[in-house]
A and B are shown apart, each in its own frame.
Chain A
Amino acid sequence: MDRGVLMASVGSQPSSGLSPAMAGMEFSDAEVMLRVRTGDQSAFDYLVQKYRRPLVGFMYRMARNTAAAEDLAQEVFLRVYRSRETYEPSAKFTTWLYRIATNLAVNHARDTRHERPEVTVSIDEPDEDTGATFEVPDGTLTAEQAMVRRERLLAIRRKVEALPERQRLAVIMHKYQQMDYKQIAEVLKLSESATKSLLFRAYETLREQLKEFV
């Protein structure tokens, strides 16, 4: 996850062009971050392009709405930028990045703990809360099927949200950010075995509580 191929000619995923010095070479994100430290703006843009989508996704599942998720993801990048001068590649870049993200997400969750808006969604409108449209492109779902699907989505979201903080973080990183035990352990400052059991318990809870939707 940490090692990205920085090809200036390669298109979409990180799409920003890098400075000529870096184009066509392979760098780890930590090395790119050291370029940011020397004032290379294109290196920072590269990191933004590479991690904006995963970070918005992470924040979206930790916060409760899209606007807050984007705000928080931007805040992560601002903090990365602010700490460019003192960045030391002692940990994997993504571990460091997700530690910043986790702190912001946890803070936000604690600050907004009491704001629990009731979810209201209609079938054909994009849901403010889940960001999902319940319309199916080929239109094969009946209104009733769409309703069932909506119920299921809300249940998934609520059950993940109801997990204890650390379990929720671990599940989101594992399931949706494709991070392995080792990395999650590093971000959460836990042992690997503690992380394994944390995840195991979390999935057991989810399996049990979502049984009716399987």
Chain B
Amino acid sequence: MNIRKLKDAFAGRLMLAAALFSSLIVLLMAIILYLRSRPILEVKTLNDLLLGSIWMPFQGKFGFYPFIMGTLYVTLLAMVIAVPLSILSSIYLAEYAHENVRTKVLPVIDLLAGIPPVVYGVWGVLAVVPAISYIAPVIGNLGIPFLTVKGYSTGYSLLAGGIVLAIMVFPIIISISEQVLRAVPFDIKEASLSLGATRWQTIKHAVIRIAYPGIAAAIILGFSRAIGETMAVLMVVGNVPNIPSSVFDSAYPLTALIANNYGEMMSIPLYDSALLLAALILMLVILFFTVAARLILIRIERSMAYG
């Protein structure tokens, strides 16, 4: 009897410790990143660092602006591609697809989430990059804003990164949105349909209204996945530190900057500190989006509880 109680108490403590440990690690990481990036923060203003666009470590110029923009652009482009497609897929799966189709397709989509990023990267290099270098001259000469090509495009571009990232984000948005849509009470659909609405009208006017906070959370989770993704992006995005003005330009996201350079040329003064600052910026951005997603999820649960 006592041994059982003891075990129980022990298990409780152990789990508490595990939980504390993992949250502590996040905190420790942030603190260490901050301490290690202090040297550069002491000699440069935050303004210079965040808004400077020249990256020349040898001359002591560390402008993060192209990298921050690279990260934001590639993530945004990925979301622009992924959000409409994956929401339409999830609507199809939740509302139109036959049970048989749904039960076969959903596991495949979940499988997509488990493929290692490097495989997506290789696929990007072998399939997406050549395809883009092929279409770039055609589209690039039409003079459409954001779709112009200066000189020629190798295919290693914002667009390649966006497409590869979009495909990596699909499974997250699709499977969460599908669940959210299917959780919409049947009553609501019944009410709308019995008034003579078509299925699409029902989805557009009634179902989405209930599901949108959940879908928003799915999008935010997809966003934080995309913004932190490194390997697949750095393989296809070109890694040139300029501010892209067209989707056919190369870009250089923060993640790629850190992964490509950390551990090399560390003798350059402040270089190490600059890279760790990049990591800190990235972490803060991701933290921001994760917290936002959490808050939205909490709101959904509330609204469900109080009807």
Q: Indicate, yes or no, whether A interacts with B.
A: no
Which B positions have Cβ atoms within 8 angstroms of A?
A: none
